[in-house]
Amino acid sequence: MDQLEEIKNKIDIVEFINSFVPLKKAGRNFKGLCPFHSEKTPSFMVSPERQIWHCFGGCNDGGDIFKFLMKIENIDFGEAVKELAKRAGVKLAQYQLSEGEKNKQILYEINHLAAEYYHYLLINHSTGAKALNYILGRGINKNSLELFKIGFAPNSWRSLENYLVNKKGYRIEDLERAGLAIKGPNSGFYDRFRDRLIFPLKDQRGNICGFAGRILQNNPQEAKYINTPETFIYHKSDLLFGLSEAKDEIKKKDQAIFVEGELDMISSFQAGVKNVLAIKGTALTENQIKLISRFTQKIILALDQDLAGDAAARRGIEIAGNEGLMVRVAKLQGGKDPDEIAQKNPSDWREIIKKAEPVYDYLLDSAFARFNGETIEDKRKISNEIVPILAKISNEIVLNHYVRELASRLQVNEEAVTKEINKTKNNQSSPSIGKAIFSDINIDKEKSHREVLEEYLLSLAFQSGQWEILKKKKIISLIQTHRFSKILEILGDYFKNYTIINSEKLAKMIGSELVETFNKFYLFDLGDLMEDGVKFEEEIKKTIARLEKINLVEKLTKISGTIKLLEKEEKLSPENQKKTEELNNEFRDLTSKLSSFEEK
């Protein structure tokens, strides 16, 4: 057994994936909402027998435990192998890092050492005394300084360079690639972060990807914050500050709270509201929403109550809604931002989060705050903004509530609002909040009815282990899709040598070009069908009967075509006359059989 197989055998794929995506039992398999695309109906299947997964929805992607980790963590194969080997307790005998992996590893090492250096200066060195007094004065305690590894960059042009290059032996070019050094006009380099509080920016696994540097005193000549630029490992739109520290609490509470900045997040964490994340400014991105949807489907937006914060909340609501997340909005009171509120009165902050209002209430309040609603023009603007949103509400009780609310606040009758909503429903092609998902299951339009039934029959047989079905010549003759019949042919060869099916051994015989098709037999969602023996047997019989009917129809079509061709001849030869007669007799027999199928 090679080491990859050893890793797979030591990690239960269901348990592993369930730590990212909630899974429920579905017959012999498990299913859940796909973490790689937005869906409302679960189409993501995991087979414990084959140790594989597949999305039958929008992604139509699948693979093993390595592929899952690569995709969900956005890492390459080598990183996934190392991560899973560590989890499985497998010591990798030999592993050669790819060039990309080496580059990533160097940048992570540099960032880790930089964070340790900055943190040491803040906590233990006289250079950081002023910054330490400042941050403690802001109410951030020493436990938080340790947990979030907050540091201080001294007011020096080459302090970090001296440490990482002269003492630790890294190249200055690698510091530049990490975003920690800037090339000067005279070919020299200088430190990017100087005289600033430093916040390490981590991914969900705790790797330090970059930094945010905050000035100690507001200065119109300087930016309040500067961040690591885009690098090989740092992408601002992908990261959420505090996720590595808050993810367990987010899972536990099944809810994530979004605030704007690092201090907002840390102060909330200290106040006991620990399922909180900072979006690094006001721009909530699609990637950030997709990232958090791995941990929860429920979010609260607690952004600043200014125009920028309001616009950000509305953008966030739209993005989150499009990904199928449930959104509430917290109204900040008692301070200008979560940092101030949580520091002044932690209990007030906890209460604000508890009272977060439904998204539609917030959107109504936001529209009326901006357009007032007194003039006809104001009412038109509010209507144009709110009516398309209400048109997407499918629950009639909820819709009726907001129709009444909007009509009352606009001082118009409910019938007028309802008419506008109905007009919008007729014209609306794309939703402003939430996708109009009519079917989350992606049906391949190129699949014929025969192919669908053949795949279903084979899935029934493979998942139930009823191999005798697949040994019958009658059944084999019904399977006409080439890749399916090829798998049955290999299965026949397998039974010549073995009496018990080992799916892994069979998969190796089948080969790489057919293994995906083979895997889908094990992943097909049969629900609880196999738990009821009588129902299962009936389903097998029905499926076989449907395939037999398709066979009859295809034969009838073929015979009919041949008869028509023969009848086009002006004078039939004796041989063709006999042939036509035989075909007509066969046509009548098949028609009779088809009629009996129709009756059943």
* Domain CATH code at residue 191: 3.90.980.10
Domain final residue, candidates 214, 234, 254: 234
Decide: 361 and 324 in contact? Cβ < 8 Å.
no
Q: Do 104 and 211 lie in a common domain?
A: yes
Q: What is the pLDDT of residue 542?
A: 87
Q: Kindly give the parts of the chain with pLDDT less than 50.
A: 1, 429-446
> Quick check: is 599 in a domain?
no
Q: Which residues contact 391 (CB under 8 A, 6 or more apart)?
A: 421, 424, 425, 428
> Tens digit of pLDDT for each residue in 101-152?
788 889 999 999 999 999 999 999 999 999 999 999 999 999 999 999 999 9
* Domain CATH code at residue 27: 3.90.580.10
* Pairing of β 52-55 and β 44-47: antiparallel
Q: Do 206 and 110 lie in a common domain?
A: yes
Identify the H or E element spanning 189. strand 189-191
User: How many other CB atoms sit within 10 Å of the CB of residue 382?
Assistant: 20
Say how far residue 219 (Cα) sits from the centre of its chain. 41
What is the distance between the alpha carbons of residues 184 and 523, in angstroms, rounded to a whole number?
57
Phi-psi region of 103 (alpha: psi -120 to 50; beta: other; left: phi over 0): alpha
> Quick check: is 216 in a domain?
yes
What is the distance between the alpha carbons of residues 324 and 306, in angstroms, rounded to a whole number?
26
**Residue 47, domain extent:** 3-88
**Owner of token pair 């194969």:** 77
Domain count, the chain: 5
Identify the H or E element spanning 366. helix 359-371
Neighbour-count burial of 307, counting CB atoms closer than 10 A to its CB (0-12 exposed, 13-18 middle, 19+ buried): exposed
> Quick check: is 93 in a domain?
no
Q: What is the pLDDT of residue 437?
A: 23
Q: Do 135 and 105 lie in a common domain?
A: yes
Q: What is the pLDDT of residue 432?
A: 41
Query: Which of 175, 156, 153 has its CA nearest to residue 165?
Result: 175
Q: Do 283 and 401 lie in a common domain?
A: no
Neighbour-count burial of 164, counting CB atoms closer than 10 A to its CB (0-12 exposed, 13-18 middle, 19+ buried): buried
Q: What is the pLDDT of residue 312?
A: 75
